[in-house]
Structure 1
Amino acid sequence: MNAQSDIEAGGANQGDLFSKFDDFIAMRDGILASGVEDPFNLVMEKVLSPTRAICNGRDTILLGTYNYMGMTFDPDVIEAGKEALTEFGTGTTGSRVLNGTYQGHKECEDALKEFYDMDHAMVFSTGYQANLGIISTIAGKGDYIILDIDSHASIWDGCAMGKAEAVPFKHNDIEAMEKRLKRVPEGAGKLVILEGVYSMLGDVAPLKEMVRIAKENGAMVLVDEAHSMGFIGENGRGVCEAAGIIDDCDFIIGTFSKSVGTVGGFCVSNHPKFDVMRYVCRPYVFTASLPPSVVATAATSIRKLMHGSNKRAHLWENSKNLHAGLKSLGFQLGTDTPESAIIAVIMPDLQKGAMMWEALLKEGLYVNLARPPATPANMTLLRCSLCAEHTEEEVQTVLGMFERAGKATGII
């Protein structure tokens, strides 16, 4: 046997770098073996609107896209993207610190500063990179990060990249957070990381109390408002605004891929030294900037969200109606009352969840199937993300679909 054959023969054994994924492969194979369509590989053949698409040849209501404010098909947003595409081309082919800052990038950051009424704004190529970059740059070796155990993967990855000491506390537990803060060694740098809305269950953090405790203990505060920007708060600035503590937050992280309706991420801050981040933040310095058409759509969308009170009110009505309807049908939900545009429907297990997901898809409804380890407490969830463009009639149609699919699969 030659050396190449030896390598190939050993590949299936201890030398196989893919062996760490065997449990996931077995889980996926188990779902597919039951005849259920792959819930993590859906293809949308044509997108008709913020709330509908053709999936598997069927007109499907979209209830799992995070398109909270329905901006993806806004005529002004689309026109801004077209104009930038024609005037500036398809991409920058460079980093923001080299040739990758166009007029549109500055205009987008200006729109963010105006939206949040803050001094500084920094746009990243993705929301993931915003967390990865800001967290890993401001909190390094010897510093301590106190964070909610249910924090998003990008937050955890930012902690790991910066090599700070990450100290998690029980989800939304104010007392547990305070205890961990008080154990941080004297003189060490402290950063508390929270989220306005947690994306799995759609529950809201008690930010008012948490931010107060963080400040009393000398910590800086970073709040990820990815799932609340545009929707929560009088001006759509998120849970920080609704709780009245936006001025006490050192950093607010957000994304363009939710309410803004495109792609990208950002951080806004009033810290006087914030601009140095443009030169020392590796995920910002060493990646290509967003295409001109993307920042043009983002800037236009952000400015329109400043005047989106009617849309916000309708989205709240949608959330209340769907939550009440699902609850009355007998489904177990992630929150007792509607707290955001996310409504999580708890499934008995992954197999049942996959069956329910497929039954809904055949009814003409797309939702997210969320599974461990991404979900808290090893739960399997069907995650519904409402949109301001869903009509009252669509919400009632969705409830009928859930009732039929729930009875067919034995969930209710």
Structure 2
Amino acid sequence: MSEGIMQADQPPERTGDTPDLFSKFDDTIKLREDLLASGVEDPFSLVMERVLSPTRAICNGRDTILLGTYNYMGMTFDPDVVAAGQKALADFGSGTTGSRVLNGTYQGHKECEDALREFYDMDHAMVFSTGYQANLGIISTIAGKGDYVVLDIDSHASIWDGCAMGNAEIVPFKHNDIAAMEKRLKRIPEGAGKLVVLEGVYSMLGDIAPLKEMVKIAKDNGAMVLVDEAHSMGFIGEHGRGVVEQAGVIDDVDFIIGTFSKSVGTVGGFCVSNHPKFEIMRLVCRPYVFTASLPPSVVATAATSIRKLMTAKDKREHLWKNSQRLHSGLTELGFKLGTDEPQSAIVAVIMPDLEKGAAMWSALLTEGLYVNLARPPATPANMTLLRCSLCAEHSDEEVETILGMFERAGKAVGII
């Protein structure tokens, strides 16, 4: 062996302490330690020992109403959905052990994509293993070095990560600001590839994007448009196709991204499109090519759920009723909410700070109610939120019970 090559059993000489790669997380570690020291239960490691229905579970030993699961349409216990998963598990086994481009495409994956094409009335559908991967894969593949992505500053982490992975130029604009978006688009160099990324419903505050105006501006400036409808699929729009349908722009957008982990009630992600070259994405999209495909039981439950959502008008109407009642009830009690009017199935309750928010979260859990505690940097404007996501299976009585729980907990903590 050459003298210039170090033997494996001879470690390099150290000139000081080895850098601790975890040091960058010290502030977060301290924040969590201080939170737990205040006596609240850990809001980020709740355990559901048993799930009883779409709206109830045993959490940390308590019978608890679920108001933070994104199970908007309550499909997780639908008998047809469960039966489809059980049959696929028995017929095809527990997993595929491969990616979609090798051995990982089963009949169920094709049937799931067929259901998506029918649901959205679009030519192409592509199923990913998670919604995160759908954004990561589509955005990073179509917007690369030299291209520009114009996106809302409050975009989901998966959107930001897709931009970073593709190495495109990222151009953010103020949340839901139509004029700011147009100004950014007009500054992009002539001839550059342009992609505008929007969300139908923004998951922190539950507000919707002004898609009618934004899509027109994007098209007028030569940009392609991708809309993430994770939090509106199944619920918003005449057929549950999302804010793009409600705003009348579904035929003008180039890509719709969604997830199975919200209204569909299982796990996975997808993209639908009418672009004539879309099928090439199956060979060039790395998060699709290099990821194991969803298990047969999962795509079977997803396909069955999607087809049932096509005719779920009654569920959609009841979910709107629940959202309106919770929003008005919390407002009457004196809570500060993220929107003036209910815009989606998400109702965000703004807390004064993280300490009060954690105390309120803990008090609600003691009452028997689970919501999401959301904090910076995930939240806009450094807000601490208690995020409530309603379900079509919440009864009128449960919503009234929830309002009583908020009233008692809010007074005990000093929020109202």
The interval holding the TM-score normalised by the smaller chain is: over 0.9
Cross-structure match for 1:398 = 402
Cross-structure match for 1:263 = 267
Letter of the 1:361 counterpart: L
Cross-structure match for 1:175 = 179
How far apart, in 2, do the equivalents of 1:226 and 1:241 lie?
A: 14
Residue 10 of structure 1 and its aligned partner are, at CA, apart by 2.5
Match of 2:235 among 214, 218, 231: 231
Residue 143 of structure 1 and its aligned partner are, at CA, apart by 0.2
1:49 matches 2:53: yes
Could you say what secondary structure the match of 2:266 adopts?
coil
Could you say what secondary structure the match of 2:215 adopts?
helix
Residue 304 of structure 1 and its aligned partner are, at CA, apart by 0.1
Could you say what secondary structure the match of 2:251 adopts?
helix
How far apart, in 2, do the equivalents of 1:161 and 1:118 lie?
A: 27
Matched length = 408
Match of 1:110 among 114, 123, 148: 114
Deviations 1:211-260 (A, max 9, x none): 00000000000000000000000000000000000000000000000000
Cross-structure match for 2:17 = 10
1:358 matches 2:357: no
How far apart, in 1, do the equivalents of 2:391 and 2:410 lie?
A: 23
Match of 1:62 among 55, 66, 77: 66
Cross-structure match for 1:81 = 85
Residue 324 of structure 1 and its aligned partner are, at CA, apart by 0.2
Residue 121 of structure 1 and its aligned partner are, at CA, apart by 0.1
Match of 1:369 among 370, 373, 378: 373
How far apart, in 2, do the equivalents of 1:287 and 1:377 lie?
A: 35
Deviations 1:38-61 (A, max 9, x none): 100000000000000001111000
1:221 matches 2:211: no
Could you say what secondary structure the match of 1:145 adopts?
strand
How far apart, in 2, do the equivalents of 1:173 and 1:261 lie?
A: 32
Residue 74 of structure 1 and its aligned partner are, at CA, apart by 0.2
Could you say what secondary structure the match of 1:261 adopts?
coil
Residue 315 of structure 1 and its aligned partner are, at CA, apart by 0.1
1:349 matches 2:353: yes
Letter of the 2:393 counterpart: E
Cross-structure match for 1:21 = 25
Residue 343 of structure 1 and its aligned partner are, at CA, apart by 0.2
TM-score (norm 2): 0.97
Deviations 1:331-383 (A, max 9, x none): 00000000000000000000000000000000000000000000000000000
How far apart, in 1, do the equivalents of 2:253 and 2:30 lie?
A: 44
How far apart, in 2, do the equivalents of 1:56 and 1:114 lie?
A: 41
Residue 163 of structure 1 and its aligned partner are, at CA, apart by 0.2
1:164 matches 2:171: no
Q: Structure 1: 5+ residue runs without aligned partners?
A: none
Match of 1:129 among 123, 130, 133: 133
Could you say what secondary structure the match of 2:267 adopts?
coil
Letter of the 1:259 counterpart: S
How far apart, in 1, do the equivalents of 2:297 and 2:239 lie?
A: 26
TM-score (norm 1): 0.98
Letter of the 1:346 counterpart: I
Match of 1:273 among 261, 272, 277: 277
Cross-structure match for 2:196 = 192
Cross-structure match for 1:152 = 156
Cross-structure match for 2:3 = none
1:296 matches 2:303: no
Could you say what secondary structure the match of 1:17 adopts?
coil
Could you say what secondary structure the match of 2:387 adopts?
strand
1:207 matches 2:211: yes
Letter of the 2:43 counterpart: P
Cross-structure match for 1:384 = 388
Could you say what secondary structure the match of 1:83 adopts?
helix
Aligned CA RMSD, in angstroms, stands at 1.4
Letter of the 1:222 counterpart: L
How far apart, in 2, do the equivalents of 1:23 and 1:369 lie?
A: 19
How far apart, in 1, do the equivalents of 2:24 and 2:303 lie?
A: 42
Could you say what secondary structure the match of 1:10 adopts?
coil
What stretches of structure 1 move > 6 A for 4+ residues in a row? none
How far apart, in 2, do the equivalents of 1:239 and 1:298 lie?
A: 21
Match of 1:241 among 230, 238, 245: 245
How far apart, in 2, do the equivalents of 1:337 and 1:354 lie?
A: 25
1:31 matches 2:38: no
How far apart, in 2, do the equivalents of 1:20 and 1:58 lie?
A: 36
Could you say what secondary structure the match of 2:151 adopts?
strand
